[in-house]
């Protein structure tokens, strides 16, 4: 018997277009887990904030899986750092659903949603599972400017770890960070992120190269992700500029001119000009998920140069397509990328070491094919959405059964 699951993602709309400001891994995670839980037999409601009056309030993502956009604050985009103001409004909009639908569990995403979840747990006794997607404590160590909402976030994140029925860390590294920087109390399970391996797999490389306009023999280095300083794109640009072998650099990711990602795009573009690689750099814009397997397959190396990365879906998508990854040795990347076996890990910010690692793979076809084979194998055994969703489903059932038992015991005592 499968029940109903609510996924709450105040700031990451699972039905949004992916690949621009504040629409990345969290949105993909919620959508994929929602769809896979539904295919296992659950009824899934994915709640997010409505940000535009032209957006439909309900989107059917898949059979038994829908996105529900709730009223919470103005009908416009609000930066993550300013969203906390609207948490009470979101709670009020969500309450009638939780009351009526009788969810087996609520799985919340990012700290605002965790606060919403705790309120639902208190009011209705529904089990609350939380995934952080990013930890304020680690993020603030890696950025120059800390927002005014920082204290609120840090104390919210502590309360969530201590009070949620379970927190899901997506890597052992994230679990360690929670223990060291958030709280020594609270229960943590480690369940990674996944890839839809029916979509992200190797396509015909020669055809992909031709379609994307790359020469057969040129070496292609790929970045995919949002334009955000913590993604470390600058390190990659500087690394490519100092490589002895000229390579083509492809940077994929969307941006909007008057927002933070537009400013970061301009900053990166001016560094590309300054270091003299404009003629071999292509800004591909936002790449549709449908086109990503061709980009990953066509590339010789995919680089994830983040200063901080809680998990990093791009790394496992590239690996699923058999493309070796050179990544910063930070956060979840240390878990997904096995140094020397499925890719290479180097210290963040270190352009010299990135250049050397990329150069090593490009110069050595045998190493590249070894890393490629091991990458695909690692993804299929550890990181599929089907496997991740089965594990989450078991966790939800376990917590719901435990709550029932506790309730029955307390009633019999009374
Ligand atoms: N993405 C995309 N098109 C782009 C850039 C990114 O579809 O042009 C997707 C990418 O495939 C991945 C997600 O956005 O699924 C980024 O997730 P990741 O965990 O790597 O980074 P985050 O955005 O969460 O920081």
Give the pLDDT score at 337.
Answer: 98
Give the pLDDT score at 404.
Answer: 84
CB 24 near ligand 1, within 6 Å: yes
Distance between CA 79 and CA 11 in Å, rounded? 9
Which residue from 315, 313, 308, 314 is spatially nearest to 329, judged by alpha carbons? Answer: 308
Give the pLDDT score at 157.
Answer: 98
Which residue from 295, 289, 290, 296 is spatially nearest to 315, judged by alpha carbons? Answer: 296
**Domain map of the chain by residue range?**
4-194+384-413, 205-382
Q: Residue range 306-323: average pLDDT?
A: 96
Give the pLDDT score at 208.
Answer: 97
Which residue from 105, 123, 108, 114 is spatially nearest to 84, judged by alpha carbons? Answer: 114
| pLDDT of 180 above 80 | yes
- 89 near 72, Cβ under 8 Å? yes
ipTM, two decimals, is 0.99
Give me 136's structure tokens: 């304020």
User: What's the pLDDT band for 96 if we cut at 50, 70, 90?
Assistant: very high
CA of 404 to the centre of ligand 1 (A): 38
CA of 212 to the centre of ligand 1 (A): 19
CA of 354 to the centre of ligand 1 (A): 21
Domains 4-194+384-413 and 205-382 share a fold: yes
Distance between CA 414 and CA 403 in Å, rounded? 16
Query: 4-194+384-413 adopts what CATH topology?
Result: Rossmann fold (3.40.50)
- Residue 411 buriedness (CB in 10 A; 0-12 / 13-18 / 19+): exposed
- Residue 29 buriedness (CB in 10 A; 0-12 / 13-18 / 19+): buried
Task: Please state the pTM of the whole predicted model.
Answer: 0.95
CB 261 near ligand 1, within 6 Å: no
Distance between CA 17 and CA 226 in Å, rounded? 12
Distance between CA 155 and CA 332 in Å, rounded? 23
Atom number, ligand 1, closest to the C-alpha of residue 133? 24
- 326 near 314, Cβ under 8 Å? no
Residue 140, CA atoms < 13 Å, CB-side half-sphere:
15
CB 292 near ligand 1, within 6 Å: yes
CATH architecture of the region 205-382:
3-Layer(aba) Sandwich (3.40)
Q: Residue range 373-392: average pLDDT?
A: 98
Give the largest Cα separation in the chain, rounded: 77
| pLDDT of 380 above 80 | yes
Percent of the chain scoring above 90 in pLDDT: 90
Q: Which of 13, 28, 109 to mutate to test the pocket of ligand 1 (most atoms within 8 A of CB)?
A: 28
CB 252 near ligand 1, within 6 Å: yes
């Amino acid at each position: 018997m499968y029940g109903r699951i609510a996924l709450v993602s105040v700031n990451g709309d699972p039905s949004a277009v992916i690949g621009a400001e504040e629409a990345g891994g969290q949105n993909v995670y919620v959508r994929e887990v929602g769809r896979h839980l539904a295919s296992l037999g659950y009824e899934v409601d994915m709640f997010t904030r409505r940000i535009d009056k032209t957006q439909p309030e309900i989107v059917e993502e898949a059979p038994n899986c829908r996105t529900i956009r709730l009223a919470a604050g103005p009908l416009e985009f609000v930066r993550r750092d300013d969203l906390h103001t609207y948490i009470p409004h979101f709670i009020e909009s969500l309450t009638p659903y939780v009351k009526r639908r009788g969810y087996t569990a609520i799985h919340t995403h990012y700290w605002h949603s965790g606060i919403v979840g705790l309120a639902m747990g208190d009011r209705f006794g529904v089990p609350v599972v939380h995934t952080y997607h990013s930890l304020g404590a680690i993020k603030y160590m890696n950025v120059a400017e800390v927002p005014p909402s920082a204290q609120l976030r840090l104390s919210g994140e502590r309360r969530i770890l201590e009070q949620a029925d379970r927190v899901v860390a997506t890597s052992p590294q994230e679990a360690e960070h929670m223990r060291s920087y958030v709280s020594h109390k609270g229960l943590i399970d480690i369940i990674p992120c996944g890839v839809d391996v029916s979509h992200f797999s190797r396509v015909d490389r020669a055809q992909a190269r031709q379609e994307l306009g790359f020469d057969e023999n040129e070496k292609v280095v790929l970045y995919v992700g949002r334009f955000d300083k913590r993604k470390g794109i600058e390190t990659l640009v500087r690394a490519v500029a100092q490589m002895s072998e000229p390579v083509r650099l492809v940077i994929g990711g969307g941006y909007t001119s008057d927002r933070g990602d537009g400013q970061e795009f301009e900053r990166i573009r001016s560094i590309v000009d300054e270091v003299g690689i404009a003629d071999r750099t292509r800004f591909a814009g936002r790449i549709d998920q449908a086109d990503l397997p061709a980009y990953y397959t066509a590339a010789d190396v995919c680089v994830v140069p983040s200063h901080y990365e809680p998990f990093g879906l791009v790394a496992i998508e590239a690996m699923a397509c058999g493309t070796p990854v050179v990544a910063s040795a930070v956060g979840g990347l240390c878990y997904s990328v096995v140094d020397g076996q499925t890719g290479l890990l180097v210290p963040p910010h270190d352009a010299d070491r990135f250049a050397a690692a990329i150069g090593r793979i490009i110069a050595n076809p045998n190493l590249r094919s070894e890393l490629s084979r091991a990458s695909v194998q690692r993804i299929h055994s550890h990181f599929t959405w089907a496997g991740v969703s089965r594990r989450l489903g078991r966790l939800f059932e376990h917590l719901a059964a435990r709550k029932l038992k506790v309730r029955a015991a307390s009633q019999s005592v009374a």
